Amino acid sequence: MLVWTLTPLLLPLRYTWKIARNASDSKTNLVVHVVDESGQFEGRGEAAPNVRYDESTERLTREFAHLLTAGLSDVDSLSELDALLAAHPPAHALRFALEAAYLHREASRLRQTVPQLLGVPAPATRVPTAFSLPIMEPGAVAGFVREQDMARFPLLKIKVNQESGYDLLREVTRAAPNHLLLIDGNEAWPDADALLRFLEKIGQLPHLRVRLLEQPLPATHTADYEYLRPLSPYPLFADESVTDAADFEGIARQFHGVNMKLMKAGGYHNGLRLLAQTRAHGLQTMLGCMVETSLGIWSALQLSALADVCDLDGFLILRHEPFGLVREEAGQLEMVDGEW
């Protein structure tokens, strides 16, 4: 029999994390821990609830309690865990944490690495990541870029909305000229034509270099995305349009790439399926994250060899990172030997 626990973690942030739909100064994530009765083999996984998908600490706590009642402690294989989670489907973030904890325990028991257990290439020793600038007053951008030493990162992600997106990008290009940017709209624009006007305007900014444009319109606006795809001057990447499942033929008509997040995918195995579908449809792959501790980022790094772009800076936003499983130096991420 296995012993499962769920522990909430209050995570104060180093600064206000503002995107197009909300802002916060702290996050509450949850850590799933599983251990056999002997205490010999254990594993942990992280859940980062996201309001965009109607996830909350309270909902995940209720679902975890329900799964315990439904027989979670009697699970004796990954296939049994999958069957239980199919019969009692929890929020995507909780499903990922449960699968990750079990799989991490299996890796320890079998003396394998997580990539070996999953059958994927090992991650590089050092993995470059983007670093994000949240929405802020344009006058604060130069100081933020300097204080956070953002120039050390190979890619900068800029969170934008309709109201201040142009001004933010103008200030970023002044503070970090010719730095390669990811522009993330978080579904802020109402239609393709409004977005194209914005793109035409920012296209006049000197020293602007854009790697990709991420989910600028709502996920439901499929016709707008199909219209926009051949007209966009920058590669379009899906984020909210691909959660744990998607019509990839439709996605390929709307986007040039997909941002896969394990918290959305609901598990390593489904995340791998989404990455395989992304590749099979000729799309670029991106590996993203929520605001997470190094436990969640460590987990994502296990799949990083499969990604064209990594945006795994969620743990760098935390005021006090509790696990120390990943370190960052010169914009590169390196996993640290330790217990998870």
DSSP 6: E
Question: Would you place residue 56 in the very low, low, confident or very high pLDDT band (cuts 50, 70, 90)?
Answer: very high
Q: At the fourth CATH level, which superfamily is domain 2-118?
A: Enolase-like, N-terminal domain (3.30.390.10)
CB 77, CB 85: distance < 8 Å = no
* Rounded distance between C-alpha atoms, residue 159 and residue 76, angstroms: 43
Residue from 306, 303, 288, 307 nearest 335 by CA: 303
Residue 153 burial (CB count, 10 A): 23
pLDDT score recorded for residue 37: 85
* Rounded distance between C-alpha atoms, residue 252 and residue 258, angstroms: 9
Average pLDDT over residues 237-251: 98
Average pLDDT over residues 202-219: 98
Per-residue pLDDT at 338 exceeds 70: no
* Rounded distance between C-alpha atoms, residue 303 and residue 335, angstroms: 13
CB 223, CB 241: distance < 8 Å = no
Looking up tokens 């004796």 gives 76
Residue 61 dihedral angles phi and psi, to the nearest 5°: -65, -40
Looking up tokens 């325990």 gives 105
Question: Would you place residue 109 in the very low, low, confident or very high pLDDT band (cuts 50, 70, 90)?
Answer: very high
* Rounded distance between C-alpha atoms, residue 115 and residue 123, angstroms: 8
Residues 140-174 pLDDT 10s: 999 999 999 999 999 999 999 999 999 999 999 99
* Rounded distance between C-alpha atoms, residue 288 and residue 311, angstroms: 5
Q: Are the folds of 2-118 and 127-335 the same?
A: no
Average pLDDT over residues 223-232: 98
Strand partners, 114: none
Residue 61 burial (CB count, 10 A): 15
Average pLDDT over residues 233-258: 98
Residues 19-32 pLDDT 10s: 998 999 999 999 99
Question: Would you place residue 209 in the very low, low, confident or very high pLDDT band (cuts 50, 70, 90)?
Answer: very high
pLDDT score recorded for residue 255: 98
Domain ranges, ordered by start, for the chain: 2-118, 127-335
Q: What is 127-335's CATH number?
A: 3.20.20.120
Whole-prediction pTM value?
0.96
CB 189, CB 195: distance < 8 Å = yes
Residues 66-80 pLDDT 10s: 999 999 999 999 999
